[in-house]
Amino acid sequence: MFKTETTEREKAGPPALWAIAVGLLLLGVYWMICFPALWWAYSVSMSIKGGYYQPDQARSLVAEMASIVTALTAIVWLMLTIRRRLTSGWRRVCIAIFWTATALVGYTALVVIRRSFWTPAQSPESAFLPILGHVNGKFFSESRWLSFLIDIVPTMSITSGCLYFVFVQLAKPVPRVPLTEKKL
């Protein structure tokens, strides 16, 4: 009638909230690494000095692009966490690096292909994808998409792999020990 044995899963605390908190914190760190990486890769300081951007406008554009990269990485982490295969630490790092790079290269290809098939008859805002067109236009126009592939994809993929490893280590459920165990 009464269940006296508890499984390991029942002994563990609520992992979902802890894992979400750790994941969001590490994605925030990821965004803070992505921002200066984009700033450097696209020589934004020189664009400001040259009068191409106002400082606030430049910060806003880089922050939006860093948010796009972080969102793509969050999707990768979510998919890897849902699949949850038992692998070694280095293997998890390599898998996260591979899938993050695949997502970023895929996004770049999507934007560049969309731009290639865009016609002036369509709205100008959708030239580089609807909604995100103004940001993508600044980072993928002409040959600037090569800077993204050469500088940002490797840097942020390796960063993603390292932070995903930290996420997996920190998000493990901690077993909770009851204060008293009642024996029947």
All structural domains of the chain with their residue ranges = 13-170
Most confident of 116-125, 130-139, 172-181: 130-139
Q: Which residue, 175, 154, 142, is CA-closest to 41? A: 154
pLDDT for 1 equals 46
Q: What number is the average pLDDT over the span 133-157? A: 87
pLDDT for 59 equals 94
Number of H helices, E strands in the chain: 8, 0
Rounded percentage of the chain residues whose pLDDT exceeds 90: 46
Number of CB atoms found within 10 A of residue 177's CB: 7
Report d(CA 140, CA 38) in Å as an integer.
Answer: 12
Report d(CA 147, CA 48) in Å as an integer.
Answer: 18
* 94 vs 132, higher pLDDT: 94
pLDDT for 15 equals 60
pTM of the model as a whole: 0.80
* 117 vs 70, higher pLDDT: 70
Q: Is pLDDT above 70 for 50?
A: yes
pLDDT for 172 equals 74
Q: What number is the average pLDDT over the span 77-89? A: 81
* 70 vs 118, higher pLDDT: 70
Q: Which helix (H) or strand (E) holds 72?
A: helix 55-83
Q: What letters, b where the CB count within 10 A reaches 16 and e where it falls short, cover 140-174? A: beeeebebbeeebbebbbebbbbbbbebbeebeee
Of 32-41, 82-91, 105-114, where does mean pLDDT reach its minimum? 82-91
pLDDT for 10 equals 46
Q: What number is the average pLDDT over the span 59-78? A: 94
Q: Is pLDDT above 80 for 44?
A: yes
Q: Is pLDDT above 80 for 117?
A: no
Per-residue pLDDT band for 12 (boundaries 50, 70, 90) equals very low
Per-residue pLDDT band for 83 (boundaries 50, 70, 90) equals confident
